[in-house]
Chains A and B, each alone.
Chain A
């Protein structure tokens, strides 16, 4: 039963094949899989709020997605890459000014109240649009939500909003909250933000801070025969070595989001009873980028940026830092976003000679000590891979005569230095691709973003032409025309290098062989796990 680790590259090739050979449908699994049991899962942190409608982040979804459902979920082979959840269908008007959702009937909240279009209208107008970190962008032009009957919700926009964007954002931004518990209260301070009440396959049971979260089976779940498990326990294990030890000792069943360090995977794959699964992160791609402060006049020179790009051996990074569980990047949109990915961009292959030549050309010859100039590099402390890449980048740039000093900050200090104070020359960042460039990528290069917005263009880069394309795409309703604009966008970014994309990675899951249906959708760790099961 042990699944051998598949490298990301192989995996990406095989995703299409899986769909073609007929990945077993959910229904088929539901028939055969055993029911019952308690699944114990490692969690590396405890989010401050668990409410996914306010905080649309993977850390929150990991736990909350089992309790609170979105209108639709991502799916490997579903129509348009989506599987219906609380909505059964959605249709945009031609003018891009309205979208009609048909909602699922016969759904009840965990406290027994019926789920209706009023809940969706309330969530959209009172939470997603004004409060949610991503909803503020996607629903910026949302005017009203009409509820002509209990199971229809019509979203009306004041300016054309591309249906493509809304569709891509559905799994992330549309977690529905129960109106009857939130209406008339201070939403941010509502106790239901911690003791969640949703419509999902599992009910929130308890949270022992520093120890665990416990979810129990929702017997009244709308999915027939679901969920399979009786209970899910998220055990808090902050240390990276702890998850691997607990798995080997049989204390937990599963660790997702690469909680087992990559270096340990090869060994742990050989442990009897454990499997390494790389599927399930196709729509959760993280990007390794070099952020550049264009206020530094050396770095404002395109030749210098290009030289830096040439100095990076992307294959070495993939093989050594990511041990093969990643893919070299070619541009700002990852390759596993086929809807948008444009392979037709200028290439910057690893070429030390070319890098040296470019730097000479730019007017920065090596000094007597072999050094052309010095830079301060701030690697993001979020992942051990971002730090290790920082170590590598220091060496790689040293080889072309750029002297690099690493600055090690903890998380808040890093954010402040890079995104508010702009106190850096280059930085290593790890933005997430969220299925659509409008909610993940454009913000990294767009100009006019106020200081202090994290994970955005704070390098002082301004390119009027690029800004125009971004603005155009934001209001282009025609899917093809919009995609074409993003193709131009990618070409221009790679050509001018406002930032340098190095690699793209998903994560890995290590699970006991007894856990079934691991990684069977592209946002698996943050999906509802209704069909996840345990064999005894």
Chain B
């Protein structure tokens, strides 16, 4: 694993991605320290231009809320949405995939048809319908986006499990009488997991973007600032105050870029290890 890390640090993509994400994480972590209050609090004159007031470096929005405070707290919420979605989707996907792969037969068939059903329904439609029905709160939004994201991991996990369960060490475990559940958890899952984890980057990036699109359609959580909600609100004043949507937009670009670059760096580093190993 160490070698992978070193290789990662050697590749320019990996370094750039890592830097971006560390910066964003720092912003997210520092938000409650630098801006301990509610980022939705009305603190100044509405639509103060950026760089005109030292106390409000990025100005204020339509209701007089601090844009910089929103940006930093938004980093927190947006990254949280991304990571939580990835966690839910990967856990659900890995479990279903492993179960299907290990059980085989009718269970496998049934589970994979469910996976198919989720896969052929456009993920955004599913998220839209689910959030409309369950009400827009951050946890519902995470769950809704995960609904469309868990099928990829499930398929991949199943494929991995199918190839792993024929391998010698699994056969050996079976011979010494290990319980199937124990085999699954001890032997199969840990080996099937790494390729599945590689999907994290795509899921995080997609989740952040889907949250923005839901906010655009008026289905965001009003108690939380996210970059998506800032962009959606800022678009009404795109002509008069373009920074209101561009600033959080840059945050979004930085996140997606960071996640993808890091993902790519990691993939390269791991490929290199396998290639040599």
Contact = CB atoms under 8 A, between A and B. Distances in A.
Check whether chain A touches chain B (CB < 8 angstroms): yes
Interface of A: 240-241, 261, 263-264, 266-267, 320-321, 379, 381, 384, 387-388, 390-392, 394-395, 398, 405-410, 413
A395 B236 contact: no
Contacts, number: 65
24 contacts: A240-B236, A241-B235, A261-B236, A263-B62, A264-B240, A266-B240, A267-B240, A320-B46, A387-B222, A388-B62, A388-B63, A394-B40, A394-B223, A398-B38, A398-B41, A405-B223, A407-B135, A407-B137, A407-B222, A408-B137, A408-B220, A409-B136, A410-B218, A413-B135
Contact of B41 (A267, A379, A381, A395): A395
B136 A264 contact: no
Contact of B40 (A320, A379, A395): A395
B42 A395 contact: yes
B237 to A, nearest CB: 5
Interface residues of B, number: 26
B63 A391 contact: yes
B108 interface: no
B219 A410 contact: yes
Given A392-B42, A413-B132, A408 B239 contact: no
B231 to A, nearest CB: 13
Nearest to A387: B222
Contacts of A379: 222
B50 interface: no
A394 B41 CA distance: 9
Given A264-B239, A320-B64, A408 B219 contact: yes
A408 B229 CA distance: 13
B42 to A, nearest CB: 5
Nearest to B221: A408
Main SS at interface, chain A: helix
Interface in B35-94: 38, 40-42, 46-47, 62-64
Contacts of B223: 394, 405-406
A264 B236 contact: yes
Contacts of B40: 391, 394-395
Nearest to B217: A410
B222 A390 contact: yes
A408 B136 contact: yes
B29 interface: no
B59 to A, nearest CB: 14
Contacts of B137: 407-408
A281 B201 CA distance: 52
B222 A406 contact: yes
Contacts of B136: 408-410
B238 interface: yes
A241 B236 contact: yes
Nearest to B62: A263
B63 A320 contact: yes
A410 B132 contact: yes
Contacts of A408: 135-137, 218-222
A407 B220 CA distance: 10
Contacts of A267: 239-240
A381 B132 CA distance: 12
A384 B236 contact: yes
A384 B229 CA distance: 13
A529 B86 CA distance: 55
B54 to A, nearest CB: 23
Contact of A409 (B47, B135, B238): B135
Contacts of B218: 381, 408, 410
A395 B238 CA distance: 25
Residue of A261, A266, A384, A391 with most partner-chain B CB within 10 A: A391
A203 B42 CA distance: 50
A266 to B, nearest CB: 8
Nearest to A241: B235
A497 B74 CA distance: 38
A263 B237 contact: yes
Nearest to A409: B135
A390 B221 CA distance: 13
B125 to A, nearest CB: 15
Interface in B223-277: 223, 235-240
A241 B41 CA distance: 26
A263 B237 CA distance: 7
A241 B238 contact: yes
A264 B234 CA distance: 12
Nearest to B236: A261
Contacts of A395: 38, 40-42
Contacts of A394: 40, 223
Nearest to A320: B46
Contacts of A320: 46, 62-64
A409 B41 CA distance: 22
A180 to B, nearest CB: 43
Nearest to B132: A410
Which 4 A/B pairs are nearest by Cβ-Cβ distance? A406-B222, A408-B136, A408-B222, A261-B236
B105 to A, nearest CB: 42
A410 B222 CA distance: 12
Contacts of B41: 395, 398
A132 B137 CA distance: 37
Contacts of B222: 379, 387, 390-391, 406-408
A305 B9 CA distance: 61
B229 to A, nearest CB: 10
B136 to A, nearest CB: 4
A322 B38 CA distance: 23
Contacts of A266: 240
Contacts of B135: 407-409, 413
Contacts of A390: 222
